[in-house]
């Protein structure tokens, strides 16, 4: 079969390694020449996953204008310019451009952060070229390269293994199988095999946990198994977040409202007031400017960006800005177990000596006279019967074996260093049939003889034991002993602990070759070791916090149901009284039930065990059909579809593959469940702050629209576009941005999720916008009417320009004062904590000064069509502006007392 045909059918596992080498014109001993490797790199490109082409800065800038409200503003600017209102046109364009720049800046900032994360994850590879081993970036590998693998390596490309020494590779990222796969270099039989069964291949991004090997690179970059999934994902549509949907709906509603009001005003002005066409056009522009919250896109972007920055400091990197807010509405969090809920590090939790279980959390066996000798012997075997290695990057090896070394390091570091110097004379590696591993050393007492150490599955070793050591004394192993230790093994297994048995014996001479049949008989049992990947200590409190917030945490793992249930119970995901049969579901069970049955059961299930990543998509869809917002964690390539399908896809920053990170909305730099819960709290705060800013902006804009519309009906002089733009520029920027910096309200994590159907106008915000907008308009119109009717303190009638100026100033100052009111829909703001946000205080002060400056500074008067006010007029303006505080507080008090609001 030709190489091209092999590539198409992906049948490398069926071909002999020498045939593969010949097809790739490489050497199984010396690899490619350096020159040939360089030529192939130039010809075929780098061994890297390619992402979608990034948009240019110009394209990003143009995208910011693809909003209907922005289009209306641009049209208003064009009309203003054509009618001679150049200042108005410039102001409108300035606002639009500033918003666009904000959007481009934040999008680029987010992309740069992800790029930095990618660079940190670029692995190295050991490649043989011209017969010499060299370390090169994995991206420089080419087809035909001969690569060396050892424990701790990340497989840098898809390899056909050519020689294997006890190689075990963890492929969970690709296949979902949590147990490392034993690899071979033998040719496999014909027939289509699943990836997990192609045991003479090593796949890109999988992890070597044990042994050594060599292999030929057969596929690189996007042709690898990982690359093919990455390519398919790039064609999938992005899931719209609730924020994006809310803003889209709001924009559509405001657009129709603006067009309707402008048309109505035009008709009324033309037919009832006989207004000139030019004046009507300018009035329509004023209405458009008044109705459109042109600062909203920038405010939302800035608020989200500030939330993103705060999350980044807490190890949560947001890839998509709108996802920050989506987190706040999360109903369900489906979490991996290993590394997210647990420490991803096997730990010796209990040992068994003298027929007793010793819990290491409460007892040090080396300090107990009845246990110390037995504990020392047990620890010796843990260290000697062990293949893990100390490297510059730390301890590397099988997680079970590194746990045994960690036990020694904790209790007897000095003895461990001596044991590591011992020369291993013989060994019989572990295999799945014997279920044990044996090593041989020179006996410690320097007498003639050799020490044989054995570790393995308790059931296998108990069959080969003839004696037992109890604190230094050896006696016969009886049937009663066997029954006792079998019972202990069962009890520990029920607690989801992984149990290993340890035994030894002394032999007088070495055999020519290590023979398991001879070495693994008549053993002396020393004890058991019980291990587990323990839960992260902070996660239990985070799960309790999530539950209090109405969020349902679920565990989704490839581990055994007993292991999953035990950890879930320790963390509080499973509670006392839960029916374990109903609460725990395996992947096999999930395959056997229909979608309808699953929909009926999904609310009862808290733990999914022995599931493949593909099952996660089904779990996500089941909850989404019930209207829930789902966050799903994942680290593997096959997790990517579930991360895409979820409302919030959460990838692991440490153990996660590049494909999973690309598919996710959020990347956890610490792979910690608690970080998700912290991010949910931040998301709720972001949503609450956007609601405050939205209430503030829309109530202000509604007041402006009502005021202009009423002025038109009454035949009064209408506020000019430049006046409205200045009010919006001053009030819609700093105070609105400052509202995005408000601290989280007390009890924010004691509330239930707001739900998928909730929007920015829910929770009383919509009605508050309406009545506060109407109230502001009434106050402004009252000031205008008062100014036209009554003389000032000198007895002279107020001129028309003064009345318009007073209305203009009242509208602007009152909007800023109302920013204090919107900090809570129902709660009083007459308390000291109201002014705890120092940025808000400064923003309010600056905006008040800027608003008053256009009237106080006489050279600015003509630009804004205003007059200079005297102290009596200022008294009316300031009194009217402050009245909004008193009136709103009274309304809130009535709402709390009569309607039990807040």
Residues acting as catalytic residues: 336
SS3 of 490-501: the string is: HHHHHCCCEEEE
Quick one: which of 462, 418, 415 has its CA closest to 436? 462
Quick one: which of 844, 705, 686, 685 has its CA closest to 770? 705
User: Distance between CA atoms of 681 and 744, rounded to whole angstroms?
Assistant: 8
User: Distance between CA atoms of 101 and 60, rounded to whole angstroms?
Assistant: 9
Where residue 152 falls (left for φ over 0; alpha for ψ -120 to 50; beta otherwise) is left
User: Distance between CA atoms of 324 and 149, rounded to whole angstroms?
Assistant: 40
Tokens 């303190």 correspond to 793
Pairing of strands 201-202, 158-170: antiparallel
CB environment 103-112: b (16+ within 10 A), e (fewer): bbebbeebee
Instruction: Give whole-number Cα distances, 865 to 85, 718, 858, 861, 862, in Å.
Output: 12, 11, 11, 6, 5
Query: Which residues lie closer than 8 Å to 767 by C-beta, 6 or more apart?
Result: none
Query: Phi/psi at 680 (nearest 5 deg)?
Result: -60, -45
Report CA torsion sign: 225, 179, 431, 382.
positive
User: Distance between CA atoms of 47 and 140, rounded to whole angstroms?
Assistant: 6
User: Distance between CA atoms of 30 and 26, rounded to whole angstroms?
Assistant: 8
Give the SS3 label for residue 397: coil
DSSP secondary structure of 149-183: EETTPBP-SEEEEEEEEEEEEE-HHHH---SPEEP
Where residue 450 falls (left for φ over 0; alpha for ψ -120 to 50; beta otherwise) is beta
Instruction: Give whole-number Cα distances, 599 to 311, 605, 627, 732, in Å.
Output: 34, 11, 12, 46
DSSP 8-class letter at 203: -
Quick one: which of 838, 651, 681, 689 has its CA closest to 301? 689
Structure tokens at 730: 């001053």
User: Distance between CA atoms of 866 and 674, rounded to whole angstroms?
Assistant: 56
DSSP alpha helix (H) spans, 715-794: 721-731, 734-739, 765-789
Structure tokens at 422: 């011992």
Instruction: Give whole-number Cα distances, 374 to 522, 526, 670, 766, 839, in Å.
Output: 19, 7, 38, 72, 65
């Amino acid at each position: 079969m030709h190489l091209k045909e092999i590539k198409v059918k992906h049948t490398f596992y069926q071909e002999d390694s020498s045939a593969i080498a010949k097809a790739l014109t490489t050497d199984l001993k010396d690899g490619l020449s350096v020159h040939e490797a360089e030529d192939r790199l130039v010809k075929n490109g780098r061994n890297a996953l390619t992402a979608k082409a990034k948009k240019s800065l110009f394209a990003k800038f143009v995208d910011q204008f693809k909003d209907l409200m922005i289009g209306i503003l641009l049209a208003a600017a064009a009309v203003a310019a054509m009618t001679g209102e150049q200042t108005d046109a410039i102001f409108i364009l300035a606002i639009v451009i500033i918003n666009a720049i904000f959007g481009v800046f934040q999008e680029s900032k987010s992309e740069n952060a992800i790029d930095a994360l990618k660079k940190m994850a670029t692995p190295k590879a050991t490649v043989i070229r011209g017969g010499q081993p060299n370390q090169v970036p994995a991206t420089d590998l080419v087809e035909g390269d001969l690569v060396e693998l050892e424990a701790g390596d990340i497989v840098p490309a898809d390899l056909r293994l050519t020689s294997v020494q006890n190689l075990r590779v963890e492929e969970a990222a690709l296949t979902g199988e949590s147990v490392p796969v034993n690899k071979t270099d033998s040719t496999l039989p014909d027939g289509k095999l699943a990836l997990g069964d192609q045991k003479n291949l090593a796949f890109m991004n999988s992890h070597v946990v044990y042994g050594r090997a060599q292999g030929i690179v057969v596929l690189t970059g996007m042709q690898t198994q990982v690359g093919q999934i990455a390519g398919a994902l790039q064609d999938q549509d992005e899931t719209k977040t609730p924020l994006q949907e809310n803003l889209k709906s709001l924009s559509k509603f405001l657009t129709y409202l603006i067009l309707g009001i402008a048309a109505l005003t035009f008709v009324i002005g033309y037919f009832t007031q006989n207004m000139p066409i030019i004046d009507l056009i300018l009035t329509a522009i004023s209405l458009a400017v008044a109705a459109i919250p042109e600062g909203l896109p920038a405010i939302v972007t800035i608020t989200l960006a500030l939330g993103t920055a705060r999350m980044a400091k807490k190890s949560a990197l947001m890839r998509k800005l709108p996802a920050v807010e989506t987190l706040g509405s999360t109903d369900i969090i489906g979490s991996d177990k290993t590394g997210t809920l647990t420490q991803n590090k096997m730990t010796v939790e209990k040992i068994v000596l003298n027929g007793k279980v010793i819990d290491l959390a409460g007892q040090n066996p080396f300090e107990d006279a009845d246990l110390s000798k037995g504990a020392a012997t047990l620890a010796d075997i843990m260290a000697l019967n062990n293949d893990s290695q100390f490297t510059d990057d730390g301890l590397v090896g099988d997680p079970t074996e590194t746990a045994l070394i960690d036990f020694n390091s904790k209790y007897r570091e000095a003895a461990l260093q001596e044991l590591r110097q011992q020369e291993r004379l013989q060994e019989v590696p572990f295999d799945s049939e014997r279920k044990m591993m044996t090593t041989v050393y020179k006996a410690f007492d320097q007498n003639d003889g050799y020490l044989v150490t054995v570790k393995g599955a308790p059931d296998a070793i108990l069959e080969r034991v003839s004696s037992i050591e109890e604190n230094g004394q050896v006696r016969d192993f009886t049937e009663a002993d066997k029954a006792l230790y079998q019972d202990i093994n069962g009890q520990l297994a029920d607690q989801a602990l992984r149990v290993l048995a340890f035994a030894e014996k002394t032999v007088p001479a070495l055999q020519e070759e290590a023979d398991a049949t001879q070495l693994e008989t008549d053993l002396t049992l020393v004890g058991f070791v019980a291990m587990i990947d323990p839960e992260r200590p902070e996660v239990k409190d985070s799960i309790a916090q999530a539950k209090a917030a109405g969020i349902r945490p679920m565990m989704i793992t490839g581990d055994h149901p007993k292991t999953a249930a035990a950890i879930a119970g320790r963390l509080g995901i499973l509670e006392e009284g839960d029916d374990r049969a109903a609460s725990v579901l395996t992947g096999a069970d999930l395959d056997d039930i229909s979608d309808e049955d699953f929909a009926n059961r999904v609310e009862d299930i808290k733990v999914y065990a022995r599931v493949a990543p593909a099952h996660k998509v089904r779990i996500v869809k089941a909850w989404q059909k019930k209207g829930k917002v789902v966050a799903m964690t994942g680290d593997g390539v096959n997790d990517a579809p579930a991360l895409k399908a979820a409302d919030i896809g959460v990838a692991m920053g440490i153990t996660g593959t590049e494909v999973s990170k690309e598919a996710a909305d959020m990347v956890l730099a610490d792979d910690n469940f608690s970080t998700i819960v912290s991010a949910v709290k931040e998301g709720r705060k972001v949503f609450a702050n956007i609601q405050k800013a939205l209430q503030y902006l829309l109530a202000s804009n509604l007041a402006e629209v009502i005021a202009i519309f009423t002025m038109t009906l009454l035949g009064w002089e209408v506020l000019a576009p430049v006046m409205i733009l200045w009010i919006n520029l001053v009030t819609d920027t700093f105070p609105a941005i400052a509202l995005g910096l408000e601290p989280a309200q007390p009890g924010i994590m004691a509330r239930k999720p707001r739900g998928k159907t909730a929007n920015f106008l829910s929770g009383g915000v919509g009605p508050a916008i309406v009545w506060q907008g109407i109230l502001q308009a009434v106050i402004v119109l009252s000031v205008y009417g008062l100014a036209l009717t009554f003389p000032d303190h000198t007895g002279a009638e107020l001129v028309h320009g003064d009345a318009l100026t007073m209305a203009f100033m009242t509208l602007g100052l009152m909007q800023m004062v109302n920013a204090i009111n919107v900090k809570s829909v129902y709660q009083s703001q007459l308390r000291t904590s109201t002014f705890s946000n120092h940025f808000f205080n400064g923003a309010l002060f600056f905006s008040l000064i800027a608003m008053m400056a256009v009237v106080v500074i006489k050279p600015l008067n003509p630009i804004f069509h205003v007059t200079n006010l005297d102290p009596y007029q200022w008294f009316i303006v300031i009194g009217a502006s402050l009245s909004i505080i008193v009136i709103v507080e009274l309304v809130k008090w009535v709402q709390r007392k009569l309607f039990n609001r807040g």
